[in-house]
Amino acid sequence: MKKILIANRGEIAVRVIRACQELGYQTVAVYSEADKEALHVLLADEAVCIGPALSSDSYLKYSSILTACEITQADAVHPGYGFLSENAKFAELCESCGLIFIGPSSNHINLLGDKAQAKKIAKKVGCPIIKGSAGIVADVEEGMRIAENIGYPVFIKATAGGGGKGIRIAYSAEEFEASFNQAANEALKAFGNEGLYIEKMIVNPRHIEIQVVGDGSNYIYLGERDCTTQRRRQKLIEEAPSPSLDLKLRKKMGEAAVRLLKEVGYKTVGTVEFLLDESSDFYFMEVNTRVQVEHTITEELTRKDIVAMQIAIAFGDELQYKQSDIEFNGHVFEFRINAENPKKGFMPCPGSLEYYIPPGGIGVRVDSACYTGYKIPPYYDSMIAKLIVTGSDRTDALRRAKRALSEFKIGGIHTTIDFHLRMIEDQKFIESDYNIGYVDQLVEEKKLFPESE
């Protein structure tokens, strides 16, 4: 019997544990001292404490996780998302210890996790790319020359970035130096890598990502996810299929994503992210070499278990599906329910859940690691749950979303439920007439939560 250690916490740890148990694998949870009563600890077959509350002393500590593998005689490690999921060094250590890393090889994480390198590969396979620097920019002076050449506004991005960190916008030459230095400093603190590249800013885009699965010879794409509803480049609501894509454009984007990952012999699940402009032209943005937070909506849309496929490929199985097997079933939304106060700038709001009553019924899925009495610690991501709703079409899914969000009752802390309820009644959202800057605009103009409230 193979045993899988889940090197993560929260809802993704619970999600992976459930998939492992359905496949017949034993599971090992790891936890920090702050997570000793967490749901993933209660659900796993075994659990090992790996250190104090801070991530740097627990969930990000290679030696503690590898020691837990040795103690429990685990055969494989599933990194979930975040933490060490895209850390090539950790993947390499797992490989050298004889552990199966349930994800891409360390070489692929290195290659595709470097945005500048990934961009070169995308260009090679004919995937449209945004104008910008050929690689890492040496200094401010070189960056300014590139920006002048491609035209303002430009993005200044961390090559090892993610989650909206290490990104600045320069609208003019006068702003460039300060923005460049700010991005470099933030990137160094967040990722230990101050490398930056320059990219032309696509005005008013939508954010579209393609889910790809490959076993090294057979590759498929499971459609797209529209992640345009963001605040400060942090996703809040995702949906599939995208209202902005027709069959022809979906096929074109899907095939481009497959070509990119097939070019390097990628073996596992991966997501290729694109920007879609107002003329329906799309541009490569980056590759995420892990399971995504929003993988759930693709699972509901296609009735395919992405985590199960990820585990099977890691253990050497061939992908069981062909592109012709992929069909869509209705329309799906995911709402990220976070412990944040939207009325106070989405300020984090950790604390004890006096009550936690998730919604149910047909077409409703809730992925969470919370329960009544659980105390949300202040040390990690503020996500409480992911509410996933499916309808026969987009209108039907929005009706169900309103019911499910209204039914979701959480006491003791502030959450983003009220934000989501207001968003789904916004006319531009209903008509899908918005871009990635829309929520920031609504917040800035105080249209979602007027000061009078």
**279 φ/ψ sector (left φ>0, alpha ψ -120 to 50, else beta):** alpha
Going 86 to 89 to 92 to 93, the CA torsion angle's sign is negative
The count of residues in the chain is 453
Q: How is residue 190 written in tokens? A: 């967040």
Q: What is each CA distance from 361 to 336, 366, 387, 404, 415, in whole angstroms? A: 19, 11, 12, 8, 22
DSSP-derived letter for residue 373 is T
Instruction: Report yes or no: 159 and 190 within 8 Å, Cβ to Cβ.
Output: no
Q: Which helix (H) or strand (E) holds 31?
A: strand 26-32
- Please indicate whether residue 365 is annotated as part of the active site: no
What CA–CA distance (Å, rounded) separates 82 from 372?
25
Tell me the DSSP string of 387-445. Answer: EEEEESSHHHHHHHHHHHHHH-EEESS--SHHHHHHHTT-HHHHTT---TTHHHHHHHT
* Residue 275: CB atoms within 10 Å: 21
**Cis omega (within 30 of 0) for bond into 378:** no
Instruction: Report yes or no: 163 and 235 within 8 Å, Cβ to Cβ.
Output: no
Q: State whether residue 234 is helix, strand or coil.
A: strand
What CA–CA distance (Å, rounded) separates 320 from 196?
40
Catalytic residue among 9, 206, 290, 336: 290
Phi, psi of 329 (to 5 degrees): -125, 90
User: Long-range CB contacts (< 8 A, 24+ apart) of 50-59?
Assistant: 53/377, 53/379, 54/379, 55/83, 55/379, 55/380, 57/32, 58/30, 58/31, 58/32, 58/33, 59/7, 59/8, 59/9, 59/30, 59/32, 59/83, 59/84
Contacts of residue 419, defined as CB under 8 A and 6 or more positions apart, other chains included, come to 236, 342, 448
Going 140 to 143 to 149 to 152, the CA torsion angle's sign is negative
Q: Virtual CA dihedral for 291, 295, 296, 302, nearest 10 degrees? A: -120
Active-site annotation, residues? 290
